[in-house]
Amino acid sequence: MAHLFLVKDIAFQAGLSTATVDRVLNGRPGVRRQTEMRVKAAIAELEKQQAGAMGSGRMLAIDIVMETPQRFSDAVRAAFEAEMATFLPGVFRCRFHFAEVMKPAELVQLLDRIRLRGTHGIVLKAPDVAEVAVAVARADAAGIPVVTLVTDLPNSARIAYAGADNRAAGETAAYLIGEFLGSEGGKVLVTLSSGRFRGEEEREIGFRRVIRARYPDIGITEISEGHGTDAATGTLAAAALAADPAINAVYSIGGGNRAVLAAFDMAKRPVRVFVAHDLDADNRALLAARRIGFVLHHDLRSDARSAFRAIMSRATALPRAVTPSLSSVEIVTPYNMPAAD
């Protein structure tokens, strides 16, 4: 298997031991097909990053860890890869660890494995639970800066949060839905991927506050723990619609929007207004087809830039830490949807 990289770099990128990578590269027996594919993918990723990083400055290798649906992790990967080349000569190399669902123990094990292997920083989207905060503290004690992405861990040792003001985003969703429904009222189906994520909780708090204060004729029904996956979210949405004939609007905090719309279609129920988050591929298509009305979007490349700068400030021992500013929330309609990167 031809390559131009050190075995340890390929191992770091693939998340494998150097011995395993050596076996793959030299065609030795006893290697699983899946392991061989991981090594090939790691080499391809290194080649791609090398082609984009034309400077000769210090290389900072970081790990991006996320529990999130694939449609969002794809968008995050694209944003971080696009931003990497803008940080010359301080070049970043990213290793991505994405899973749609991870138990807290699995996430902690992954964070500890990264800490023991070594990294210049961790960008983390994770539930706000005590065991994750303890793992972040271990990383910080080892000199590894952790930046939270999209959803915060405010009671942890993370050095910065990169993302939007989630409470303001929820308030914006309430305003859009409230003004659209007007005096007719109705009930909003609020969908969360999981109540464990601080960012989703903040969106819901902001949404409920504005609905309660300004639109008292509008009710709320919440579903949660579908983890943003279509199958689980669709089942929860169908049950909620069967139980409550008043639901006529959706505020999707946690995703699974195709499944939610399918549940309305199956029930032969109209959706007066649908507000979603993030311009991932699914939401772009649904917005273009007029299946959803508004997408609350913030620039993931700006978040990536903030995370890089925060980690770089720690790695280069700047006298004053870089504090990222919150991303601005943009209301996107079918008529002002920006072009895909």
- Omega within 30 of 0 (cis) for the link into 89: yes
Predicted confidence (pLDDT) at residue 261 exceeds the cutoff of 80: yes
Helices (H), the chain: 7-14, 18-25, 33-52, 70-84, 104-117, 130-141, 166-181, 198-214, 230-243, 257-266, 281-288, 300-315
Phi (first) and psi of residue 71, to 5 degrees: -60, -30
Predicted confidence (pLDDT) at residue 50 exceeds the cutoff of 70: no
Helices (H), 215-299: 230-243, 257-266, 281-288
Mention every residue, 6+ apart, whose C-beta is less than 8 A from residue 118.
Answer: none
Helices (H), 118-197: 130-141, 166-181
DSSP per-residue letters across 192-238? -S-TT-HHHHHHHHHHHHHHHHH-TTEEEEEE--STT-HHHHHHHHH
The pLDDT of residue 316: 63
The structural domains of the chain, ordered by start, are: 7-54 (1.10.260), 60-162+300-326 (3.40.50.2300), 166-298 (3.40.50.2300)
Mention every residue, 6+ apart, whose C-beta is less than 8 A from residue 326.
Answer: 163, 164, 165
Helix, strand, or coil (residue 144): coil
Identify the CA nearest to 279 among candidates 293, 300, 260.
300
Task: Indicate the pTM of the whole model.
Answer: 0.79
Distance CA 167, CA 251 (A): 14
In tens, the pLDDT along 185-226 reads 899 999 999 999 999 999 999 999 999 999 999 999 999 999
Around Cβ 160, how many Cβ atoms within 10 Å?
A: 22
pLDDT band at 56 (very low <50, low <70, confident <90, very high): very low
pLDDT band at 1 (very low <50, low <70, confident <90, very high): low
Percentage of residues of the chain with pLDDT beyond 90: 67
